[in-house]
């Protein structure tokens, strides 16, 4: 019953959204992963979940990291106030930004490069220079790299993840990414204030494979933000809208009269409450922020 409620909710919020319609295949994905029941995942199965569909698999050798090492039982925030470590942090950040640029935010990273990402990010998190990092996330940020699909940094997809079983969500997001492989995700931004998060995702959506017709637009999702720990926020989605669309006859109308979909209210009506997602920040300084979702996927943002 929960699965069908989520599917119906997703259809309502995407079918009326001129840019999120590209995600309509997601409903079918959720139904496919629900039947038959999921078998117990093997190590190889779990490893395939971590690899993005477009990531390179040209490295046949084993990874330097064991998959089970990537998700510690409990991760705590570290604070490094040693001024002598500033130079080391700068070198780590330069290497991280360079690797992000040559791998398209990590999307085309090889197995070896993915290991390097993990090593750089883990070192930076251990050298976090800011006390209470969640308290210092305010400002405008642009996504630099991630080890999962970039669209998952949006509260829209955070909410979907929060109401699904972890394995079901991972399968569904993977199938969704493959089903929309003709689409491109442009700039991904977050604007954070004390009690709110505004996500902007630029989309270049292929209508049909092989047909050179694309719909463009920026999907803007707003959510409430509540700090509950030195490194943790709770995220509750509120509404979403589209701007800058190139849909014929609708583009100017959508810019002048944006349609705001009350996603939070829709969840409340269908599910009884608004899903609560978590966003954990283990590193932040004046120019870079490392945030993880509830599945421990990392999202590295640079200040815009």
For 110, residues 6+ apart whose C-beta sits below 8 A from its C-beta are 55, 56, 58, 59
pLDDT band at 37 (very low <50, low <70, confident <90, very high): very low
For 196-240, the pLDDT digits (tens) are 999 999 988 665 555 556 677 889 999 999 999 999 999 999 999
Cα 90 from Cα 107, distance rounded (Å): 23
Across residues 258-278, what is the average pLDDT? 90
For 90-115, the pLDDT digits (tens) are 999 999 999 999 999 999 999 999 99
For 143-167, the pLDDT digits (tens) are 999 999 999 999 999 999 999 888 8
Across residues 264-284, what is the average pLDDT? 95
DSSP letter (8 states) at residue 39: P
The per-residue pLDDT for 243 is 82
Is the Cα dihedral 21, 22, 24, 27 positive or negative?
A: negative
- Long-range CB pairs of 70-79, under 8 A, 24+ apart, other chains included: 70/118, 70/296, 71/295, 71/296, 72/296, 75/280, 75/282, 75/292, 75/296, 76/231, 77/128, 77/133, 77/230, 77/231, 77/282, 78/125, 78/126, 78/127, 78/128, 78/282, 79/128, 79/129, 79/130, 79/131
The verdict on pTM exceeding 0.85 is no
Residue 245 has pLDDT above 50, yes or no: yes
For 282, residues 6+ apart whose C-beta sits below 8 A from its C-beta are 75, 77, 78, 125, 128, 133, 231, 290, 291, 292
Cα 279 from Cα 293, distance rounded (Å): 5
**How many Cβ atoms sit within 10 Å of the Cβ of residue 280?**
20
H or E stretch at 232 = strand 232-243
For 136, residues 6+ apart whose C-beta sits below 8 A from its C-beta are 130, 284
CB-CB contact of 266 with 12 (8 Å):
yes
pLDDT band at 248 (very low <50, low <70, confident <90, very high): low
Residue 254 has pLDDT above 70, yes or no: no
Please give the mean pLDDT across all residues of the chain: 78
Picking from 25-29, 254-258, 286-290, which range would have the lowest pLDDT averaged per residue?
25-29
CB-CB contact of 113 with 168 (8 Å):
no
As beta bridge partners, residue 215 has 205
Cα 34 from Cα 28, distance rounded (Å): 10
Cα 185 from Cα 181, distance rounded (Å): 10
Cα 114 from Cα 126, distance rounded (Å): 18
Cα 48 from Cα 189, distance rounded (Å): 27
Identify the burial level of 63 via C-beta atoms within 10 angstroms of its C-beta, where 0-12 means exposed, 13-18 middle and 19 or more buried.
middle
| More confident: 231 or 6 | 231
């Amino acid at each position: 019953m929960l699965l069908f409620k989520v599917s119906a909710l997703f259809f309502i919020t995407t079918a009326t959204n001129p840019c999120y319609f590209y995600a309509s295949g997601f409903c079918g994905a959720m139904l496919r992963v629900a039947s038959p029941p999921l078998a117990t995942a093997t190590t190889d199965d779990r490893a395939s979940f971590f690899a993005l569909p477009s990531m390179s698999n040209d490295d046949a050798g084993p990874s330097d990291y064991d998959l089970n090492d990537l998700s510690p039982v409990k991760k705590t925030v570290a604070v490094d106030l040693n001024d002598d470590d500033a130079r080391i942090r700068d070198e780590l950040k330069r290497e991280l930004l360079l690797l992000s640029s040559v791998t398209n935010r990590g999307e085309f990273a090889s197995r070896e490069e993915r290991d390097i990402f993990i090593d750089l990010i883990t070192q930076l998190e251990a050298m976090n220079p800011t006390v209470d990092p969640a308290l210092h996330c305010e400002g405008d940020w642009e996504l630099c790299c991630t080890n999962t699909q970039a669209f998952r940094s949006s509260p829209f997809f955070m909410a979907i993840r929060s109401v699904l079983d972890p394995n079901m969500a991972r399968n569904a997001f993977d199938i969704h990414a493959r089903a929309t492989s003709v689409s491109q995700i442009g700039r991904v931004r977050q604007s954070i204030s004390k009690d709110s998060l505004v996500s902007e995702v630029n989309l270049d959506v292929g209508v049909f494979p092989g047909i050179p017709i694309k719909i463009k637009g920026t999907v803007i999702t707003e959510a409430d933000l509540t700090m509950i720990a030195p490194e943790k926020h709770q995220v509750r989605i509120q509404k979403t809208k589209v701007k800058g669309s190139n849909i014929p006859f609708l583009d100017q109308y959508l810019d002048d009269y944006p349609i705001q979909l009350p996603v939070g209210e829709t969840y409340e009506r269908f599910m009884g409450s608004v899903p609560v997602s978590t966003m954990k920040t283990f590193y932040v300084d004046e120019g870079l922020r490392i945030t993880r979702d509830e599945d421990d996927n990392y999202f590295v943002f640079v200040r815009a």
